Structure 1
Amino acid sequence: MAKSIKKGDDVVIIAGEHKGARGKILQVIPAKDRVLVEGVNMRKRHEKRTQDSEGGIVEREAALHISNVMLQEKWEARSKN
């Protein structure tokens, strides 16, 4: 796993369906080498009603593999050359 990527970092998606998208890291899942990026790879989930929420269809971020993500500073430095 890339140790340089952590929660709160600004990143760019460098491969896959969402290539070029930017966002903040919401969560890092080191055991699976995956990250959740804010506003990227949105999926619809059917949630059951609980005491706190009404339930229904909710859009949430799905995990991306960490190799498809690069820190925004590194991406911008790379594109300047």
Structure 2
Amino acid sequence: MSKLHIKKDDTVVVLAGGDKGKTGKVLKVLVEKNRAIVEGVNLVSKSTKPSAKNPQGGIIKQEASINISNLSLIDPKSGKATRVAIKHDGKNVIRIAKKSGEEIK
């Protein structure tokens, strides 16, 4: 299993695909598939049957997963896309933005 540079609740920008340039918050990371679900990005239409939760049924829009390689973390200082450096501080792992040197929380 590989380590990923993106975690849940990170703010990311899409680098490639139909939603290129959009930003959003990571809702879920699918480590085994090397994919992530980002809020408001890669929306797909899904048909649903009527249920207790949705008595009307019909077509709903929801986010589909996007490959991690098409995402980049946003630098907390400049607000632009940045690469990530990983430093080990004893037992802790610290992620650092390459552009500004700022720590990513």
TM-score normalized with structure 1 length:
0.84
Higher helix share: 1
Q: What residue is the counterpart of 1:75 in the other structure?
A: 81
Does the Cα contact within 8 Å between 1:35 and 1:64 map onto a contact in 2? yes
Extract unaligned runs of 5+ from structure 2. Answer: 83-98, 101-105
User: If each structure's strand is expressed as a fraction of its own residues, which one has the higher value?
Assistant: 2
Give, in angstroms, the shift of residue 25 of structure 1.
Answer: 0.4
CA shift at 1:2, angstroms?
4.9
Structure 1 residue identity aligned to 2:49: K
Q: How many residues are treated as equivalent by the alignment?
A: 78
AA in 1 matched with 2:60? V
Q: Percent identity?
A: 41
Matched with 2:14 is: 13
Structure 1 alignment gaps of length 5 or more: none
Which structure has the larger Rg over C-alpha atoms?
A: 2
Q: Any runs of at least 4 consecutive aligned residues in structure 1 with deviations exceeding 4 A, and if so which?
A: none
Counterpart of 2:58 (choices 51, 56, 59) is 56
| 1:24 is the counterpart of 2:30 | no
Partner of 1:66: 68
Q: Is the 8 A contact 1:37 1:61 kept in 2?
A: yes
